[in-house]
Structure 1
Amino acid sequence: MVSPSQRSGLGRLAAAVREVVLVVAVALVVSLVVKTFLLQAFFIPSGSMEQTLDVGDRIVVSKLTPGPFDLHRGDVVVFSDPGNWLPPAPQPDRGALAGALTFVGLLPQDSDEHLVKRIVGLPGDHVVCCDASGRLTVNDQPVDETAYLAQGVAPSEEAFDVTVPAGALWVMGDNRSDSADSREHHDAPFVPVDDVVGRVRAVVWPLPHWAWLETPSALEEVSGS
């Protein structure tokens, strides 16, 4: 027979359990809403964006760009594979719990279906590499890329002359000698704006790499075509 004091204790325990379940449920819903509409975490699997982003970095992406905020030249963005840019790869088995936490945004998204690059050309831009001084030009204006390219790295070893179509972007990795970007995918070099997940705002892990990513003025100040 359960005494009144035992019933009271069981009641308090049940109330505490219900409160914990409610708090966890609310936290998961909030996290899912944040991931869907505001922020999403990703990790960097390759060196195509060095020196800006290193392998293993955890980044936070703002999903308000594009949307309430416009994309700009120089923004670092995460986008869905626009069409066979990524080689087929086996899907890692992260387990049910890890998969659920990733779905609601509590773990960073795997990058097996996404890429991260820097916007060099917006719709209508004329992007050329290189001029007589070995510089990238956008709308006939030379761009100083020293803010994000490693010292001594050429803007591109491959010459190109493109005009970005409406609704699309020309993107390049900062590690130009090791980046499979718009230059390499001749059949589909442009990234539809609709495929952009968001703009990379910060590196949040590991702590020594913490950084807030600003848009470099060299590209942002280029005049439209």
Structure 2
Amino acid sequence: MAVTKKAEGVGKEKKKGGFRETVLLLVLGVGIALLLQAFVVGSFYIPSISMENTLLVNDRVFVNKLAGAPGRGDIVVFKGWRGGEDTIKRVIGVGGDKVVCCDSKNRITVNGTALDEESYLFPGDFASGDKFNVTVPKGQLWLMGDHRTASADARSHMQEPGGGFISEDAVIGTAVMRYWPLNRATIFTRPETFDKVK
């Protein structure tokens, strides 16, 4: 009898230890997930048509918060023009770039190099209905939506303080992947046209 009671006691201790380990691992997992979301990877929901067809309403993207300074062609989430709301647009120009619209073929040029935007512009859309000629200040970005006729982007804010530019410090991160809906999941790459800009 004594042996049986001892074995039962050991079994109960093992069950208690296993439960504690499970709870500890669960808390640790949640803690790591929260830290990753706060400092490394975030999820962003697309609320508007301004980035069609690259991003559609209700799409969800993962954003890399440790990607460093954004480059031309990157899709970034940032604290935007509308009262600091999270906003998503494409980087067209970085600090020091001269961004002009448009050349004789109605293309945006960056430092004199014409962009071939066909791969990401909304089908049938054009570079811009608004003319502009800006030099991006150091530490700032010139951002535009891919659905130009439906995007309230840098062009819409040129008359405001800041001239429509967004500070690199306002960038939350670079969009790296659309993960929802699953049938449209894709990893984002920088369009090749930006490789030609010097």
Q: Same fold (TM over 0.5)?
A: yes
**What SS is found at the alignment partner of 2:42?**
strand
Q: Which residue of 2 aligns with 1:130?
A: 102
Judge which range, 127-136 or 16-25, deviates more. Answer: 16-25
| Mapped partners of 1:216, 1:207: distance in 2 | 22
| Mapped partners of 1:43, 1:113: distance in 2 | 12
**What SS is found at the alignment partner of 1:184?**
helix
Identity fraction in percent: 40
- Flag the structure with more relative contact order, 1 or 2, with Cα contacts below 8 A and sequence separation at least 6: 1
Please report how far the alpha carbon of residue 10 of structure 1 lies from its aligned counterpart in structure 2 after TM superposition. 4.7
Instruction: Choose the corresponding residue for 2:82, options 82, 86, 106.
Output: 86
Judge which range, 27-36 or 213-222, deviates more. Answer: 27-36
Amino acid of the structure 1 residue aligned with 2:102: C
Amino acid of the structure 1 residue aligned with 2:135: T
Judge which range, 208-217 or 38-47, deviates more. Answer: 38-47
Deviations 1:60-106 (A, max 9, x none): 1112222xxx421000011112xxx226xxxxxxxxxxxxxxxxxxx
**What SS is found at the alignment partner of 2:67?**
coil
Q: Which residue of 2 aligns with 1:98?
A: none
Please report how far the alpha carbon of residue 13 of structure 1 lies from its aligned counterpart in structure 2 after TM superposition. 4.0
Q: Which residue of 2 aligns with 1:167?
A: 139
Q: Which residue of 2 aligns with 1:154?
A: 126
Contact 1:72 1:220 survives alignment (8 Å): no
Contact 2:113 2:196 survives alignment (8 Å): no
| Mapped partners of 2:175, 2:195: distance in 1 | 16
**What SS is found at the alignment partner of 2:157?**
coil
Amino acid of the structure 2 residue aligned with 1:174: D
Amino acid of the structure 2 residue aligned with 1:181: D
Contact 2:97 2:135 survives alignment (8 Å): yes
Please report how far the alpha carbon of residue 212 of structure 1 lies from its aligned counterpart in structure 2 after TM superposition. 0.7
| Mapped partners of 2:72, 2:195: distance in 1 | 5
| Mapped partners of 1:192, 1:207: distance in 2 | 33
Please report how far the alpha carbon of residue 206 of structure 1 lies from its aligned counterpart in structure 2 after TM superposition. 1.1
Amino acid of the structure 2 residue aligned with 1:86: R
Q: Which residue of 1 aligns with 2:40?
A: 38
Contact 1:74 1:220 survives alignment (8 Å): no
**What SS is found at the alignment partner of 1:183?**
helix
Structure 1 residues 18-29: aligned runs within 5 Å:
18-29=20-31
RMSD of aligned residue pairs (Cα, Å): 1.9
Judge which range, 4-13 or 22-31, deviates more. Answer: 4-13
| Mapped partners of 1:48, 1:7: distance in 2 | 65
Instruction: Give the total of aligned pairs.
Output: 191
Instruction: Choose the corresponding residue for 1:209, options 169, 184, 188.
Output: 184
Please report how far the alpha carbon of residue 220 of structure 1 lies from its aligned counterpart in structure 2 after TM superposition. 3.1
**What SS is found at the alignment partner of 1:27?**
helix
Instruction: Choose the corresponding residue for 2:60, options 58, 61, 65.
Output: 58
| Mapped partners of 2:62, 2:171: distance in 1 | 14
Please report how far the alpha carbon of residue 113 of structure 1 lies from its aligned counterpart in structure 2 after TM superposition. 2.7
Gaps of 5+ in 2: none
Please report how far the alpha carbon of residue 145 of structure 1 lies from its aligned counterpart in structure 2 after TM superposition. 0.3
Please report how far the alpha carbon of residue 9 of structure 1 lies from its aligned counterpart in structure 2 after TM superposition. 5.6
Contact 1:130 1:136 survives alignment (8 Å): yes
| Mapped partners of 1:177, 1:75: distance in 2 | 20
Amino acid of the structure 1 residue aligned with 2:76: V
